Structure 1
Amino acid sequence: MHRKLRLRNRKDFSRVYRGGRSFANSQVVVYWSKKHDIPQFRLGVSVSKKLGNAVVRNRMRRLLKEIVRLHADRIVDHTDLILIARMPSVRMSYQELERSVLHVLKKANLLKPRPTRPTS
């Protein structure tokens, strides 16, 4: 994930938490807020110490960032996102976690519609 596409400072996290909207499933929570002065989306990832030691938390952080990186072309622009991992996500496989993240992004209307293929 490029540095420009990351939420890093406390002020941005607080703005999204306070003024944004949230959607969740049992594995992942997404907070999001529109920000029209940025060209693309920006991502922040939060993993609590309740989920495990540093190795577990860093693995979850890497997995979530990788899922978003692979689907970056589908995520709407001008948006700040914060993904929060919940306890069940630690025991999930990559494919299950990917489905869960895409589900919560779709539920929040943060995925661009897929282009329809012409049938002929």
Structure 2
Amino acid sequence: MKFSESLKKYQQFQSVYKYGKSYANKYLVMYIMENGTGRNRIGISVSKKVGNSVVRHRVTRLVRESYRLHEAVFDSGLDIVVVARKAAAPVGYYGIEEALLHLGKLHRIIKVSCYL
């Protein structure tokens, strides 16, 4: 991820959960909070309810890759936490990509000229 960093610490995730704004769809929940820097920080959370470790890591990779390929269209200076729902387990790449972009549109963090 060229323009982004990762959220790694528990306190960073908790801050976004507590003070951020959230939207959800069938597969994902996205929390957004401004971080005051010029870079995005993204964190991905996949619970054990989604499946075993193979399934959880697969969903994590799909979300990370979807974000990586579209990170240029997201606004900068945000902390983003993406939480996968149980329904995301059997879904392929295009379903996760569509869900991620849908949530970006709901939050109004996708640049207007890129995707309408």
What is the TM-score normalised by the length of structure 1? Answer: 0.89
**Matches of 2:91 and 2:53 in 1, distance apart?**
18
Q: Is 1:13 aligned with 2:29?
A: no
Offset at residue 79 of structure 1 (A): 0.2
User: Per-residue CA shift, 1:30-62, capped at 9, x if unaligned?
Assistant: 0010011x2211100000000111111011111
Three-state SS of the structure 1 residue aligned to 2:89 is helix
Paired AA for residue 93 in structure 1? G
What is the TM-score normalised by the length of structure 2? Answer: 0.92
Judging by fraction of residues, say which structure has more strand: 2
What is the total number of aligned residue pairs between the two structures?
114
Offset at residue 26 of structure 1 (A): 1.2
**Matches of 1:97 and 1:77 in 2, distance apart?**
21
Offset at residue 97 of structure 1 (A): 1.4
Task: Point out the structure with max Rg over C-alpha.
Answer: 1
User: Residue 32 of structure 1 aligns with which residue?
Assistant: 32
Structure 1 residues 1-120: aligned runs within 5 Å:
1=1, 5-36=5-36, 38-114=37-113
> Unaligned 5+ residue runs, structure 1?
116-120
Detail structure 1 runs of 4+ shifted over 2 Å in the superposition: none
User: Residue 118 of structure 1 aligns with which residue?
Assistant: none
User: Per-residue CA shift, 1:72-110, capped at 9, x if unaligned?
Assistant: 101110100000011111111211111111101111112
Say what the alpha-carbon RMSD is for the aligned residues. Answer: 1.5
> Unaligned 5+ residue runs, structure 2?
none
Work out the percentage of aligned pairs sharing the same amino acid.
35
